[in-house]
Structure 1
Amino acid sequence: MEAADSATNNSKDTHFYGKSRAENRRRSDAMLLLFRALTFSFSLAAVVVMGTNRYRINPQLKVSWYDFEPYRYVLAVNAIICIYSFVETWLAVYTYLQGSYLLPEIFQVWFDYGHDQGFAYLLFSANSAGVAMAQLLQSGNTLIHGAYHCTEAGGYCTQARVSIALGFVAFLFLALSSLLTGLRVARWYLR
C-alpha cells in the first residue's frame, strides 16, 4: 500500500522530462540569478562608460555626456536599472539559497514581473533615444556645441555608442528575466 502511495506522490511531483518540480524550480532560480547578475553588470558598465564620457575639443571647450539630454536619459535610466537589478540579484540569491521567497509568494512574483516589464520598457526607451542622438551626431545633422563634428571630439561619440550598446545588452538580460518571472506568474496561477 505504501509503495503505491509513494509511486502516486512521485508521479505528481515528477515532470514529464523526469525532473522533479523542486529541481526545475531550482534551475529556474539559478537562471534568474544569472540573468539578474548580468543585467546588473551590463547596466553598471553602461553607467561607468557614459559617466566617464568627457573629451576636450580645444583648451577652452570640452564636451561631456550631460551636454545632450538623451545621454542624460541613458545614464539616469541605466543607473536606475543598475540599482534595481542589484536589489533583485540579492533577492535572487536569497531565493536560490533558501528555496523560498523573501516576500509572500504572490506579491513577490507579481512585483518581479511588473517591475521587470516596466524597467525593460524604460531601458529600451532610453537606449533608443541615445541611438537617435548618436546618429544625429555621427551624421553631422547635430553639431557638438553648434560647431564641432564627432571626428573633432576624439572618442566622445564612440564612447557614447558603446554605453548605449551595453545598455541594450542589459535590456536583453532584463527581458529574459521578465520572461522567467512571467512564467512564474503563470505557474502560480496554474497550480
Structure 2
Amino acid sequence: MVAGAMESGVVANESTSGPLTYSANSQDVHLYGKAAVEKRRRSNNILLLCRALTFAFSLASVLVMGTNKHSIRNTESKVAWHNFDPYRYVLAVNAIICVYSFVETWLAVYTCAKGTLLLPETFQVWFDYGHDQGFAYLLFSANSAGIAMAQLLQSGTTLILGQYQCPDAGVFCTQARVSIALGFGAFFFLAFSSFLTGLRVARWYLP
C-alpha cells in the first residue's frame, strides 16, 4: 500500500498542469522536459560560463575600441575610432551585448544558486532564446563590418584622414583589429548560448 501510494503520488505529480518536478521533494522547475536533473544543472552551469565569457569579451572589446585614439606620426593630427562609421558600429553593438550579457549572467547565477528561474518559466525560455538569436546576428554583422574596414585601412585602399596609412598612425589599426577579434570571441560564446537556449526551447515541447 505504501509503495502504491508513492507510485500514485509520482503519477499525480507528472499529470498535474504547470512546471514538472522530478521527485516529490524536488524544488527543481521544468526546463528540459523529461531530461535528468543533473543534466539540466550541468547545462545551466555551461550556460552561466558562456554568459560570463560573452560579457568579458564584449566589455574588453568596448574598452579596447573606446581607447583607440592615436597621433599621426610627425604631425599634430590625431585619429580615433569615431572617425570611422564601422568602428562606431562595432563599439555600439558590443556595448549593447555587454549590458545584455551582464543581465543574463546575473539571471544564470540566480538559476544555478536557487535551482529555479527568477522570471516566469515560459517567458524566460523564449526571452533568452529570442534575444540570443537576435543579438548574435547583430554582433556578427558589426564585427564583419569592422573587419572589412580594418582590411581596407591595412591595404591602403582607404586612407586615414584621407592621406595617411596605418604605419603613420602607430598602433591604431592593430588596436582596432584586437577589438574586433574580441568582439568575435563574444559572438562565439553568445552563439553557443543561443544553441543551448535553443535546445531548451526544443525540449520544452517533447512528449
Structure 2 length normalisation: TM-score?
0.83
Out of 46, 50, 66, the position equivalent to 1:31 is 46
Percent of aligned pairs with the same amino acid: 73
Where does residue 52 of structure 1 map in the other structure?
67
Aligned length: 182
Q: Which structure is higher in helix share? A: 1
Alpha carbons 1:137, 1:144 under 8 Å: kept: yes
Provide the rounded CA distance (Å) in 2 between the counterparts of 1:172 and 1:142.
Answer: 29
Q: Within the alignment, does 1:140 sit opposite 2:156 as a pair? A: yes
Offset at 1:190? 1.4
Out of 71, 89, 94, the position equivalent to 2:87 is 71
Q: Within the alignment, does 1:124 sit opposite 2:160 as a pair? A: no
After superposition, give the CA deviation of every residue in 1:26-53 in whole Å (9 maximum; x if it has no partner).
1111000000000000000000000010
Q: Within the alignment, does 1:42 sit opposite 2:26 as a pair? A: no
Amino acid at match of 1:100: T
Offset at 1:176? 0.4
Which runs of structure 2 are paired with 1:100-111 in the superposition (5 Å)? Answer: 100-111=116-127
Alpha carbons 1:54, 1:64 under 8 Å: kept: yes
Where does residue 170 of structure 1 map in the other structure?
186
Offset at 1:186? 1.0
- Gaps spanning 5+ residues in structure 1: where? 14-19
- Gaps spanning 5+ residues in structure 2: where? 15-21, 23-34
Amino acid at match of 2:56: S
Runs of 4+ that moved beyond 2 A: 1-6
Structure 1 length normalisation: TM-score?
0.90
Alpha carbons 1:42, 1:169 under 8 Å: kept: yes
Q: Within the alignment, does 1:21 sit opposite 2:60 as a pair? A: no
DSSP 3-state at the match of 1:101: coil
- Greater C-alpha radius of gyration: 2
Amino acid at match of 2:121: E
Provide the rounded CA distance (Å) in 2 between the counterparts of 1:91 and 1:186.
Answer: 21
Where does residue 188 of structure 1 map in the other structure?
204
Offset at 1:3? 5.7
Offset at 1:79? 0.3
Alpha carbons 1:106, 1:188 under 8 Å: kept: no
Amino acid at match of 1:42: F
Where does residue 109 of structure 2 map in the other structure?
93
RMSD, aligned α-carbons = 1.8
Offset at 1:60? 2.0
